[in-house]
């Protein structure tokens, strides 16, 4: 991959993000930023999944389960009251070191003491990582249909558990999640005054994920993953520890999903079981497919745009149907994603317009030699 091109792309993306914010604020459409923020977090999940599905060729139909693990752990630990702790000496010192956090009671004048939101967030990542190891270790020995069903089953179990568990709010989910402080005066929260700041938090997070994944796919690891996708046996024969790589990628994409889920929860202030549903997992896969499978950039753009349009209600009552049609059309006609064929078209078009330049390439010379 070309480092200069990547840098240019990232710079362009940053400028675009700033331009969108300025445009939205100047034209008085600040409310767009709310959906843009949520779309950015979803795009991060899609990018992480594209690493697993696109680069490594291992399907996961249960990624909403990992999003839910991150989201619910953050929400539960940061809201569960630890009233008895605030009185003790240990509790007081923990409060001073920001291990615990107190906030005013929602109804009444007392204060509630819970685990600090930052630690709750980290706990979500840790739990998602652990569960991913536990599920991934047996699941990744399976292939194709079997892996798809195992991950689907995992996602459905998570969904049923959060739906049926009273302390996770059952069908209502958990609401009034406190803000997650990031810098002094800046927090990940849905408060209207923090809307612009939160847009940049989400954009920054997504950019960081993008950079990290671009670097990863361009490294020795990335090449190993592509080799696994090509043929697992051939990869193993060249000395790639396929099982270890697959598990690492699975865990990594699960942690990314949990991180995005956690941040989204602090931003919205609530989490419900619908975010753990199987349809959500399928949507993530649909966006990976539409982005071109093994393309972090494609996953980012498609994940962001489709989620934003869906959140704005552009698809009306055909919301789910759009994702279904995307899946069928992309897989039937361009299984490598729509951007590959598009690029070929552009390259051909350019070659035709500038024959002098194209003649310099060896590709054009071959027919002449043969003739």
214 touching another protein, by CB under 8 A = no
282 touching another protein, by CB under 8 A = yes
10 Å Cβ neighbour count for 233?
10
> How many CA atoms lie within 13 Å of 253's alpha carbon, on the beta-carbon side?
32
164 touching another protein, by CB under 8 A = yes
User: Which one of the spans 33-41, 69-77, 107-115, 152-160 is the region binding another protein (CB under 8 A)?
Assistant: 152-160
323 touching another protein, by CB under 8 A = yes
31 touching another protein, by CB under 8 A = no
| Residue 81 or 164 with smaller CB distance to another protein | 164
* Among the listed residues 49, 285, 294, 299, the single contact to another protein using CB under 8 A: 285
Strand partners of residue 111 = 104
238 touching another protein, by CB under 8 A = no
Question: Taking the complex as a whole, how short is the minimal distance between the CB of residue 344 and another protein, in angstroms?
Answer: 19
Rounded distance between C-alpha atoms, residue 211 and residue 316, angstroms: 34
Question: Taking the complex as a whole, how short is the minimal distance between the CB of residue 62 and another protein, in angstroms?
Answer: 10
Q: How far is CA 122 from CA 81, 93, 255, 263, 288, in A?
A: 18, 20, 10, 11, 26
Closest listed residue to residue 213, CA positions, set 259, 181, 244: 259
* Among the listed residues 139, 177, 254, 294, the single contact to another protein using CB under 8 A: 139
> How many CA atoms lie within 13 Å of 28's alpha carbon, on the beta-carbon side?
0
Burial group, residue 60, by CB count within 10 angstroms (0-12, 13-18, 19+): buried
Residue 239 Rama label (left phi>0; alpha psi -120 to 50; beta): left
Q: Identify the DSSP state of 112.
A: E
* Among the listed residues 232, 256, 294, 338, the single contact to another protein using CB under 8 A: 232
| Residue 127 or 287 with smaller CB distance to another protein | 287
279 touching another protein, by CB under 8 A = yes
Closest listed residue to residue 365, CA positions, set 345, 350, 351: 351
| Residue 38 or 286 with smaller CB distance to another protein | 286
Contact 46, 295 (CB under 8 A): no
Interface residues with another protein (CB under 8 A) are 53, 57, 59, 61, 138-139, 142-146, 148-150, 152-154, 156-157, 160-161, 163-165, 170, 232-233, 278-279, 282, 285-286, 289, 317-318, 320-321, 323-328, 331-332, 335
């Amino acid at each position: 991959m070309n480092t200069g091109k990547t840098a240019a792309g990232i710079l362009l993306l940053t400028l675009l993000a700033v331009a969108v914010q300025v445009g939205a604020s100047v034209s008085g459409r600040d409310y767009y930023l709310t959906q843009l923020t949520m779309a950015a977090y979803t795009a991060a999940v899609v990018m992480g999944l594209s690493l697993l599905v696109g680069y490594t060729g291992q399907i996961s139909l249960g990624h909403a389960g990992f999003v839910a693990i991150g989201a619910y752990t953050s929400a539960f630990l940061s809201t569960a009251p630890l009233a008895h702790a605030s009185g003790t000496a240990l509790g007081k010192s923990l409060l001073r070191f920001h291990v615990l956090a107190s906030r005013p009671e929602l109804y009444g004048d007392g204060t509630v003491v819970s685990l600090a939101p930052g630690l709750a967030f980290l706990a979500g990542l840790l739990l998602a990582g652990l569960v991913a190891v536990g599920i991934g270790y047996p699941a990744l020995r399976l292939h194709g249909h079997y892996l798809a069903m195992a991950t689907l089953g995992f996602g459905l179990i998570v969904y049923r558990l959060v739906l049926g568990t009273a302390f996770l709010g059952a069908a209502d989910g958990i609401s009034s999640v406190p803000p997650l402080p990031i810098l002094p005066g800046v927090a990940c929260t849905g408060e209207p005054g923090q809307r612009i700041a939160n847009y940049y938090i989400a954009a920054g997070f997504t950019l960081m994920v993008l950079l990290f994944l671009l670097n990863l796919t361009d490294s020795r690891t990335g090449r190993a993953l592509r080799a696994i996708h090509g043929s697992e046996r051939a990869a193993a024969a060249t000395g790639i520890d396929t099982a270890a790589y697959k598990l690492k990628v699975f865990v990594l994409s699960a942690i990314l999903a949990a991180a995005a889920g956690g941040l989204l929860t602090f931003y919205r202030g609530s989490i419900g079981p619908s975010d753990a549903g199987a349809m959500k997992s399928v949507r993530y896969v649909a966006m990976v497919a539409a982005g071109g499978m093994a393309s972090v950039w494609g996953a980012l753009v498609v994940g962001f745009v489709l989620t934003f349009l869906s959140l704005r209600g552009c698809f009306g009552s055909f919301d789910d149907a759009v994702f279904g049609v995307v899946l069928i059309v992309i897989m039937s006609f361009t299984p490598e994603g729509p951007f590959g064929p598009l690029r070929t078209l552009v390259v051909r078009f350019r070659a035709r317009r500038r024959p002098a330049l194209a003649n310099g390439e060896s590709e054009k010379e071959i027919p002449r030699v043969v003739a």
